Amino acid sequence: MADRPYIVGNWKMNGMRAMLPEARAIDRAAQRLMKVEVALAPPFTLIHAVHREVEQIGVGAQDCHAGRDGAHTGDVSAAMIADAGAKFVILGHSERRAAHREDNDMVAAKIAAANAAGLDIILCCGESLETRDEGRAEDFVLGQLRHALAHVDAAGERLTVAYEPVWAIGTGRTAAPRDIAAMHAAIRTLLVESFGAEEGAQVRILYGGSVKPENAREILALENVDGALVGGASLSAESFLGIAHAAIGDEDA
Ligand code: PEP
């Protein structure tokens, strides 16, 4: 695990202004948890409000459009997200790849847009259960990443990779620790090949897929698991902070 684990909450399409106290509670606790880096990606509508509400945690977006501006009804650009107070953007999430048919080229175009807006990137990758059962998980994930990494301007701490097996997201199923460790090791090798030993080692690799306080400690203790991307369990300060505590091996996690 990284010296300072990175725990990121993805609120997905959840969160009204009534959720702001939850963000504040997470932020206040994070101020006392300096050994963990905590961040939240609320929906677009709450980015500015969460940004104003918090002092310690990072705030990001869950997606951006690939274009700079113009006639794209209903879309939000990377520059708009940055203007609202976001420091990072999650790209290539499997829910967007599936529901919005985002392919590797689209993800690459969004990476370029995020680069231009100065946003850090959390780049998601992950295989379906079918692909895993066919024994092609590693090839598939590394293929997704190779395509995307060629477009990344800044690696090191500006880039985070999130390995999220599609079948583990929101299902309550987590990948076996041995499989997580093997995939993260393969991703690390690719990062070092792509960016060199020093920068490639600095890129954080998060695991995502039904992480909760009860399973976080075992997952986060694995080699090359530098933190977690958390969906459902990030919606309450109590469970999200339980994961943050588990990341540093706190007994009360
Ligand atoms: C996610 O959406 O990135 C995710 C990991 O969701 P969950 O924790 O709910 O599986």
Question: Is 225 in contact with 180 (CB distance < 8 Å)?
Answer: yes
Determine whether the shortest distance from the Cβ of 10 to ligand 1 is under 6 A: yes
Determine whether the shortest distance from the Cβ of 98 to ligand 1 is under 6 A: no
Q: What is the pLDDT along the chain (253 residues), one digit of tens a residue?
A: 567 999 999 999 999 999 999 999 999 999 999 999 999 999 999 999 999 999 999 999 999 999 999 999 999 999 999 999 999 999 999 999 999 999 999 999 999 999 999 999 999 999 999 999 999 999 999 999 999 999 998 888 899 999 999 999 988 888 999 999 999 999 999 999 999 999 999 999 999 999 999 999 999 999 999 999 999 999 999 999 999 999 998 855 4
Nearest ligand 1 atom to alpha carbon 95: 2
Q: How far apart are CA 38 and CA 122, in angstroms?
A: 13
Q: Are strands 159-163 and 120-125 parallel, antiparallel or unpaired?
A: parallel
Two tokens, residue 179: 């499989």
Q: How far apart are CA 65 and CA 81, in angstroms?
A: 10
CA 104 to ligand 1 centroid distance, Å:
20
Q: Where are the beta strands (DSSP E) in the chain?
A: 6-10, 37-41, 58-61, 88-91, 120-125, 159-163, 204-208, 227-230
Which amino acid residue places its CA nearest to atom 3 of ligand 1?
A: 231
Determine whether the shortest distance from the Cβ of 15 to ligand 1 is under 6 A: no
- Taking alpha carbons only, the member of 28, 33, 58 closest to residue 245 is 33
Q: How far apart are CA 124 and CA 111, in angstroms?
A: 12
Nearest ligand 1 atom to alpha carbon 211: 8
pTM of the predicted protein model: 0.96
Q: How far apart are CA 201 and CA 195, in angstroms?
A: 9
Q: Domains of the chain, with CATH numbers?
A: 6-236 (3.20.20.70)
